[in-house]
Amino acid sequence: MHLINRRQFLQWSGALGGGIAAGALLPLPSLAQKESLSKGENEEMKWAGCAINCGSKCPLRVFVKEGKITRIETDNTQEDEFGAHQVRACVRGRSSRFKVYNPNRLLYPLKRVGKRGEGKFVRISWEEAIETIAQKLLQVKEKYGNEAIYVNYATGTTGGIMSRCTKGPWARLLAQFGGHLNYYNSYSTAQITDGLKHFYGTSAGSDIANIAHSKLVVMFGNNPVETRMSGGGTGYSYKEALQKSGAKIIHFDPRYSDSMVGACDEWIPIAPGTDAALIAAMAYVMINEDLHDKAFLDRYCVGFSRETLPDSAPENSSYEDYVMGRGEDQTPKTPEWAERITKIPAQTIRRLAKEIATTKPCFIAQGWGAQRQFNGEQSSRAIATLAAMTGNIGMLGGNNGARETSTLSIDPAWLPSKNPIKDSISCFLWTDAILHGEEMTDIKDGVRGTQKLKSSIKFLWNTGGNCLINQHSDSNRTAKILEDETLCEMIVDINIVRTPSNRYADIILPDATHLEQEDFIRASAGYSSDRPYVIYCQKAIEPLGECKGVYEMCTLLAERLGGESFKAEFTEGRTQVEWLEHLWNQTRAKKPELPSFEEMRQRGLYKAPRAKKPKVMFEGFVQNPEANPLKTPSGKIEIYSEELAQKAATWILPEGAKITPLPEFINTKEGPLDPAREQFPLQFFGYHYKGTTHSSFWESAPIREINPHEAWINPMDAKARGIKTGDRVLVFNRFGKIIVTAKVTPKIMPGVSVCHQGGWYKPKNGIDEGGCINTLTTLEPSPIAKGNPQHSILVQIRKV
């Protein structure tokens, strides 16, 4: 069969930036032309990588002349055959020269002189910076204890080892200093991780390459082409597999995403936060028409029918009871019931329920968009229930409803660190922990490792993150919390550029990029589609200005905190490169086929062969459930969860929040049925966009230019408001106001509007002119996972 060629793919996927138009500007070199792209006179080539958290982590070839970066090219090793292909960086990674030589680049340590948030800083020496930090750290430890020290969630250098933002040198140093408050969860996957842990014991799905063996593919809020964009990654693998099987593909998503362009048979727009209602209605059709896989449900699942409910469950509490209207709400979940909530016509629900129930194998998967909602734990479990009802679990070409995952990876060992403190908060609740940490408990706030926190956060580290203000929620409220110096007493921010977050810091430290230091960058499992590789950054240039890598910063701080002996404890006498060698050798001890450290240092990039057969999740369990039980309390798939029934009975929840043992549709605040819709009629959220990785690359002018920051509005909603494409519009709700440019397009369903997340928070006279989506989001967490419901937003939009 003729497969799409590489160039077509890159254009379709937008991996060349901005889709076809930008692709046309960047013709791919033929093999002969490649010669001319090789080194120029006096030019050197060094390997580096893009460690930013788009997940992919692509290799980069950095060309250097007289100590300056002249240009950046992508992986050119191997040919274009899929499976043994090049891992090509997208246009964002290829713009890394703009990251290094950015006018906004931090070059020296800075100290705040104005009020927090005012953005007034002066240059100081490294000695003064380290001295100020050390004094405050010792003071906070003495006065409040180590539990008052916190390393904020951040992802700007997750791919690195010695440069790693949260689990790298800072974590080791602070652990040795007596410990720090931990976090669990991520901003990426809190609700699905917790939801599916209760359902399956894990949130992992099958490799996307299974699609090559599918008859039908059903995606819920899954956008691999835009969010796994590397030319070596899952987006590519997805298109390749679709081509191979020719499977029909259906996407349920409020917006027409890049993954649908050129590869979608049906786009079914669904109102955000309503997937669980859709699944319940599909179950209603399947049960009525006897289409569900009863043998599978009876053998492998708990609680679909009454017969498989645990003894502790009350009467009429099976999923079947809920769907047929015999449960507490006495409401049959008919397609007409679901139409009112999801906005999908009842006819369509009936037709698709039948099609999905009768076409096997069906690859059912969800991205992480449906779960970043107030009821995300419910949506994620409901989508998994569809996979169980149709018996598509554990078979080649099928999937369990989770997001696809790949399992192969080459992870160099991390810097060892052992935090003596076990107290842990959900990473989304750090603003609560600044405000009233001492009141936070296990059953009220999901605190783990202890029943109650000992202290509020008094010392905050933020390395490689913009979550202090931009990527967290309710930016206006968060700003107020950070501005109050009596709450958190010191904030240290380590970045490469000035950001909205580091306006709130007391000390800013300038980091070295991956082009300015030696380090490993690992490809994340789940993004490289079972095509593992590892990059060795060869230090293309010396760090600009007075920038230092975090390991060096930590070494200086260790010496100031505890003299030579503490420094020796931290470094174990190793330089950064000696640590890299030490850690690599540990990895090699387990995988002797890997090249030696010296070879890695020379070659810069190592790619392992692709897996021959795609990973099929729960294959062993389905073959023999007794011998290979799942990691749930019952060892089975828990459609009814006793653990959640227990939490529902004992946890203290905010008003209106609800936990249920079944994956029922729950109406929430900021949700489709919230009475607040009378005032704020549009559902709104910030999707992950090809033009930025979160708020990163926003500072790169050429990248901004080709990727506009726009609010998509459906023509019907636009007409009612007199809005045209290009108009400036005010998007507002009870949390704040942002100004953005409108794009009127049928790619978004009526009643919903979107604007990509990542715009830089820039408040002026009560209006955020940067168009940061988090000016509109709430600080209240989801009920079970205590995760960030950042896609649950209600707004009104008006032309300005």
Ligand X SMILES: Nc1nc2c(c(=O)[nH]1)N[C@H]1C(S)=C(S)[C@@H](COP(=O)(O)OP(=O)(O)OC[C@H]3O[C@@H](n4cnc5c(=O)[nH]c(N)nc54)[C@H](O)[C@@H]3O)O[C@H]1N2
Provide the binding-site residues for ligand X, judged by CB under 6 A: 52-55, 154-157, 163, 187-188, 220-221, 223, 226-227, 229, 252-255, 257, 270, 272-273, 275, 367-370, 372-373, 463-467, 471, 494-497, 499, 511, 513-514, 685-690, 692-696, 757, 773-774, 777, 790-791
Question: How does DSSP classify residue 629?
Answer: -
Pick from ligand X, ligand SF4, Mo ion, none: which does 219 bind, CB < 5 to 8 A by kind?
Answer: none
Q: What crossing angle do the helices spanning 376-389 and 275-288 adopt, rounded to 10°? A: 30
Smallest distance from ligand X to CB 536, Å: 16
Phi, psi at 373, each rounded to 5°: -120, 165
Residue type, 766: G
Phi, psi at 519, each rounded to 5°: -170, 160
Binding flag, residue 259, ligand SF4 (CB under 6 A) = no
Among 69, 72, 90, 507, binds ligand SF4 (CB under 6 A): 90
Smallest distance from ligand SF4 to CB 15, Å: 7
Measured CA angle at 610 (ends 607, 613), to 5 deg: 165
Closest to ligand X by CB, 154 or 622: 154
Closest to Mo ion by CB, 187 or 520: 187
Q: Of 616, 618, 641, which Cα lies nearest the Cα of 630?
A: 618
Structure tokens at 175: 């652990």
Pick from ligand SF4, ligand X, Mo ion, none: which does 373 bind, CB < 5 to 8 A by kind?
Answer: ligand X
Closest to ligand SF4 by CB, 57 or 164: 57
Closest to Mo ion by CB, 424 or 471: 471
Smallest distance from Mo ion to CB 427, Å: 11
Q: In this structure, how many other beta carbons lie within 10 angstroms of the beta carbon of residue 2?
A: 5
Pick from ligand SF4, ligand X, Mo ion, none: which does 466 bind, CB < 5 to 8 A by kind?
Answer: ligand X
To which H or E segment does residue 740 belong?
strand 737-744
In whole angstroms, give the CA distance from residue 161 to residue 67.
25
Smallest distance from ligand X to CB 627, Å: 34
Smallest distance from ligand X to CB 567, Å: 22
**Residue partners of 552: CB distance under 8 A and separation at least 6:** 576
In whole angstroms, give the CA distance from residue 609 to residue 82.
11
Q: In this structure, how many other beta carbons lie within 10 angstroms of the beta carbon of residue 325?
A: 15
Closest to ligand SF4 by CB, 51 or 110: 51
Closest to ligand SF4 by CB, 292 or 610: 610
Cβ–Cβ < 8 Å for 748, 761? no
Closest to ligand SF4 by CB, 421 or 512: 512
Q: How far is CA 38 from CA 58, 75, 604, 646, 684, in A?
A: 19, 12, 16, 63, 47
Burial of residue 184, with CB atoms counted within 10 A of its CB: 0-12 exposed, 13-18 middle, 19 or more buried: middle
Pick from ligand SF4, Mo ion, ligand X, none: which does 642 bind, CB < 5 to 8 A by kind?
Answer: none
**Residue partners of 306: CB distance under 8 A and separation at least 6:** 316, 318, 320, 321
Q: How far is CA 199 from CA 303, 398, 416, in A?
A: 11, 18, 32
Give me the 5-44 binding string for ligand SF4, x by CB under 6 A, dash otherwise.
----------------------------------------
In whole angstroms, give the CA distance from residue 610 to residue 91.
25
Longest CA–CA separation in the chain, Å: 80
Closest to ligand SF4 by CB, 689 or 735: 689
Binding flag, residue 227, Mo ion (CB under 5 A) = no
Smallest distance from ligand X to CB 799, Å: 23
Cis before 361 (ω within 30)? yes
Closest to ligand X by CB, 82 or 428: 428
Pick from ligand X, Mo ion, ligand SF4, none: which does 707 bind, CB < 5 to 8 A by kind?
Answer: none
Binding flag, residue 93, ligand SF4 (CB under 6 A) = yes
Which parts of 675-694 interact with ligand SF4 (CB under 6 A)?
693
Pick from Mo ion, ligand X, ligand SF4, none: which does 689 bind, CB < 5 to 8 A by kind?
Answer: ligand X
In whole angstroms, give the CA distance from residue 426 to residue 193.
12
Give me the 42-71 binding string for ligand SF4, x by CB under 6 A, dash otherwise.
--------x-x-x-xxx-------------
Pick from ligand SF4, ligand X, Mo ion, none: which does 774 bind, CB < 5 to 8 A by kind?
Answer: ligand X
How many C-alpha atoms does 770 have within 13 Å on its Cβ side? 23
Residue type, 661: P
Structure tokens at 380: 């994620």
Smallest distance from Mo ion to CB 285, Å: 35
3-state SS, 528-584, equals: CCCCCEEEEEECCCCCCCCCECHHHHHHHHHHHHHHHHHHHHHHCCCCHHHHHHHHH
Cβ–Cβ < 8 Å for 386, 550? no
Helix residue ranges per DSSP H, 572-696: 576-590, 597-603, 619-623, 642-650
Smallest distance from ligand X to CB 596, Å: 27
Closest to ligand X by CB, 259 or 634: 259
Pick from ligand SF4, ligand X, Mo ion, none: which does 50 bind, CB < 5 to 8 A by kind?
Answer: ligand SF4
Which parts of 194-233 interact with ligand SF4 (CB under 6 A)?
229-230
Among 70, 102, 188, 441, binds Mo ion (CB under 5 A): 188
Pick from ligand SF4, ligand X, Mo ion, none: which does 367 bind, CB < 5 to 8 A by kind?
Answer: ligand X
Residues in the chain: 800
Cis before 781 (ω within 30)? no
Smallest distance from ligand X to CB 578, Å: 21
Binding residues vs ligand SF4 (CB under 6 A): 50, 52, 54, 56-58, 89-90, 92-93, 229-230, 693
Binding residues vs Mo ion (CB under 5 A): 188
